Structure 1
Amino acid sequence: MREVDHIEQLVGKLLLLVTPLEDRRLHTDLHNFTHQLSCDRISYSAAALFHIDRSLLTSCIAAIAISIYLVILVEFGLPSLTTSVNNAYGVPNLSEISSYFVCIVMNMYFFVIYLFDIDSTLQGPQKTHTLLSLSLWTGLMVLRLVILAYSSEMVVQEASRTQRLVTKLQMLPVPASSGCQEELLLFEEQLARSPLHYSAAGFFALDLSLLKSFVAAVTTYLVILVQFQIPDTNKE
């Protein structure tokens, strides 16, 4: 391949030296030869599956690296990593979300009774300061909860996207001797058997559906607490 490129460069230099006025036929032959070299590039392939050149080495190295990565990920990384994360952070996530639930319910409860003067113990600037403080702390806890649920959901979606990409990679014409097809099939089976998911100590899943359940539960407890407070106010 390099010799062909070298010949093409030499012919190009000869075209600059030979003018049509000096030897029209030679100039025409050189021009046709250059055009032929440009149009009909010399290349070697293995049954038209891939080209035999320096890029083959790069493809082989990449295929070997992908195979090693998939073997390590399937045999050691993926199942144990998910289990380790759930075991390590399941109980802390459960306690954190539970504390957020209690704090948000209580903050919203006091916010409602102070805002609608169900409890008139606070008035003026003190009431405004209390409402702002309750809103700020509630917003921070809601933000932390949204980040936790959203990040877990994105990881699960990325795992699903990886499974679809592995399926597409299996359709590519990869040499059988590389072993990539077997590794990709093994990786796809592993993803199908052990779907990625995170939970809070097994009580509930950490995904975007958690936010819907959380909002419903907070609303229910808030309505119940406010209803208990209204009769006490009417009696007074």
Structure 2
Amino acid sequence: MIRVVNTEYIDLLRFKVDRTQRHAQVVNLAIALNKTYGMQILLLLTIYSLLILLSSHYVVVGIFAFRGKTGLLVINTVLHSFTLIYAWIQVILIISNCEMCQRSVDAFYRELFRLMRESKTLCSNKKLCLYVSMRKTVNFTACGFFNLGYPLITSIIAAATTYLVILVQFSIPKT
């Protein structure tokens, strides 16, 4: 009976160490992906931010110019509305995937720490203790300029709103 329990414990310990090694590989790959695609993410977010700003401008100007007009102006405003929605979806997808990866890395560390707190035998493994204490995290950035997270979405909204107010003030003719 003791031998069966001991082999189950050894198998569990090997499983935990194997999972931590796989987790370390995934974290290293995520860091490498961030370094590799940081410039592309920066360019994409810059392009989408400009697209959001310009599409918002054309939609607002189109709405104010609707008064009694139809046809091409309506179609143009609708197309810019779809462009605006597309750009927002792309920005949200990029940022939410980065956030999801960061949260899953943190969740793994929390779960491993919880398991080690509950089991004194897992705490005796030096590899697991070192892995938990090192706690390598993933922080996605756009080429190091800004962090990719949900606060970035609010920053884009604030910047676009500010510029939109300025652009609309100068572009709507006074009647």
Q: TM-score, normalising length from structure 2?
A: 0.86
More helix as a share of residues: 2
Q: Is 2:116 the partner of 1:188?
A: no
Larger relative contact order (CA 8 Å, sep ≥ 6) = 2
Residue 42 (structure 2) pairs with residue 94 (structure 1): yes
Contact between 1:108 and 1:134, CA under 8 Å: does it hold in 2? yes
Deviation at 1:56, TM superposition (A): 4.3
Query: Aligned partner of 1:225: which letter?
Result: L
Shift of 1:65: 3.4
* Equivalent pair of 1:71/1:183 in contact (CA under 8 Å): no
Q: Where do 5+ consecutive residues of structure 1 fail to align?
A: 1-43, 46-51
Tell me what 2:97 maps to. 151
What are the residue-to-residue correspondences of 1:47-62 with 2, within 5 Å? 52-53=3-4, 56-62=6-12
The aligned length equals 175
Q: Distance in 1 between the 2:102 and 2:23 partners?
A: 16
The residue type paired with residue 95 of structure 1 is L
Partner of 1:201 in structure 2? 143
Partner residue of 1:167 out of 89, 113, 120 = 113
Q: How large is the RMSD of aligned CA atoms in angstroms?
A: 2.6
1:219 Cα offset (Å): 0.5
Note if contact 1:107-1:134 (Cα within 8 Å) is conserved in structure 2: yes
Separation in 2, partners of 1:117, 1:71: 61
Unpaired runs of 5+ in structure 2? none
8 Å contact from structure 1 (residues 149, 208) kept in 2:
yes
Larger gyration radius, structure 1 or structure 2: 1
Q: Which residue of 1 aligns with 2:20?
A: 70
| CA displacement 1:48-79 (0-9 Å, x = unmatched) | xxxx33x64344223223324434654xx266
In the TM superposition, what is the alpha-carbon distance from 1:86 to its structure 2 partner?
1.5
2:17 aligned partner, one-letter code: S
Q: Which amino acid aligns with 2:20?
A: L
User: Aligned pair in 2 of structure 1 residues 104, 175: CA closer, same or farther (>3 Å)?
Assistant: closer
